[in-house]
Amino acid sequence: APTPVNVTVTGAAGQIGYALLFRIAAGDLLGEGVPVRLKLLEIPDAVKAAEGTALELNDSAFELLDGIDVYDDANQAFDGTNVALLVGARPRTKGMERADLLEANGGIFKPQGQALNGAADDVKVLVVGNPANTNALIARSNSDVPADRFTAMTRLDHNRALGQLATRYGVRVGAVSKVTIWGNHSASQYPDVTYTEIDGKPIGDEVDRSWLTDEFIPRVAKRGAEIIEVRGASSAASAAAAAIDHVHTWVNGTRENDWTSAAIVSDGSYGVPEGLVSSFPVTASNGEFEIVQGLEISDFSRERIDASVNELAEERDAVQKLGLV
């Protein structure tokens, strides 16, 4: 039998955790027939709730689930892990300034970055907990794990864009390709359809500009708020689905003639300062993400990419001041 892959999920007792763990246990994260061993990390107060979820996972009789351990210690939870999904984070509460939020999350992602030194050599890290890009920057800066193993999630934004386009053009999402999310996983992000194709045909020149600027871009960028407004709670199952997609793509590759979006450590491509964890158009093969190169960037796109990247640079400056990176 194949050796099980160790998967660590932090924030395991949270609402994304509840949706995510059952998908992982069902074998959706890595691909057909790969057994998984789950390592759940929670804060001490929530360990019991995570243990409750572990009971339910056992009751689901997932054939690929090799076992579950629950921890309140990051060193133990990341020890020997192959895939680390960093979902647990400190949410913004009333009256909290951005600097307070960054500092509180630094208190989580700095020690977790250090604890990741005990992970397996091939570890892949996905940060979901917000502010995801900057939390990933903090973890990376405090870890000996190579920079290219740290990623943050903009796949939910990417999937939201696919959903909006499929509806607009009356096609299945599978017919839509080459959508890009640039920048930060925040309202400043830029969902870019310049190179988007429907059934392999570019839509670029025929896109209705007012639909693009007044509806599509703001709707994708502010979809999180829309979900809270309508559902009465923040995105959970869709966030879990996006985390599954992100890792599945990273491990198994992107399809021919397409790309996806992921926030990865910038190498300076497209004028994004080196070291920032920014979303790019990426392909994946052999377990590695690669930025799609050579795309011409219009003035319209440039302005929007720069605005989001500037926000990332401000967040980096703020955590630098706090001594977190």
> 212 to 241, contacts with ligand NAI by CB under 6 A?
234-236, 239
Q: Does 156 bind ligand NAI (CB under 6 A)?
A: yes
Q: Does 308 bind ligand NAI (CB under 6 A)?
A: no
Measured CA to CA, the distance from residue 201 to residue 23 in angstroms comes to 33
Binding residue (CB under 6 A) for ligand NAI from 29, 64, 70, 87:
87
Q: Does 70 bind ligand NAI (CB under 6 A)?
A: no
| CB 317, min distance to ligand NAI, A | 21
Pattern 260-289, binding to ligand NAI, x per CB under 6 A? ------------------------------
Tell whether 271 is in a known binding site. no
C-alpha distances in Å from residue 110, one per residue of 9, 136, 174, 265, 306: 17, 9, 38, 17, 27
Q: Does 183 bind ligand NAI (CB under 6 A)?
A: no
Binding residue (CB under 6 A) for ligand NAI from 21, 30, 41, 251:
41
| CB 206, min distance to ligand NAI, A | 30
Q: What is the SS3 assignment for the chain? A: CCCCEEEEEECCCCHHHHHHHHHHHCCCCCCCCCCEEEEEECCHHHHHHHHHHHHHHHHCCCCCEEEEEEECCHHHHHCCCCEEEECCCCCCCCCCCHHHHHHHHHHHHHHHHHHHHHCCCCCEEEECCCCHHHHHHHHHHCCCCCHHHEEECCHHHHHHHHHHHHHHHCCCHHHEECCEEEECCCCCCEEECCCCEECCEECHHHCCHHHHHHHHHHHHHCHHHHHHHHHCCCCCHHHHHHHHHHHHHHHHCCCCCCCEEEEEECCCHHHCCCCCEEEEEEEEECCEEEECCCCCCCHHHHHHHHHHHHHHHHHHHHHHHCCCC
Name the one range near ligand NAI by CB under 6 A: 25-33, 39-47, 209-217, 294-302: 39-47
> 106 to 125, contacts with ligand NAI by CB under 6 A?
108
| CB 5, min distance to ligand NAI, A | 20
Binding residue (CB under 6 A) for ligand NAI from 125, 132, 262, 325:
132
Q: Does 251 bind ligand NAI (CB under 6 A)?
A: no
| CB 223, min distance to ligand NAI, A | 10
Q: Does 10 bind ligand NAI (CB under 6 A)?
A: yes
Of 313, 274, 276, nearest in space to 137 by CA:
276
Could you tell me how many residues of this chain bind ligand NAI (CB under 6 A)? 27
Q: Does 178 bind ligand NAI (CB under 6 A)?
A: no
Tell whether 173 is in a known binding site. no
Q: Which is nearer to ligand NAI, 82 or 112 (CB)?
A: 112
Q: Does 128 bind ligand NAI (CB under 6 A)?
A: yes
Q: Which residues bind ligand NAI (CB under 6 A)?
A: 10-11, 13-17, 41-43, 46, 87-89, 91, 108, 128-130, 132, 153, 156, 185, 234-236, 239
Known binding-site positions for NAD(+)? 11-17, 105, 112, 128-130
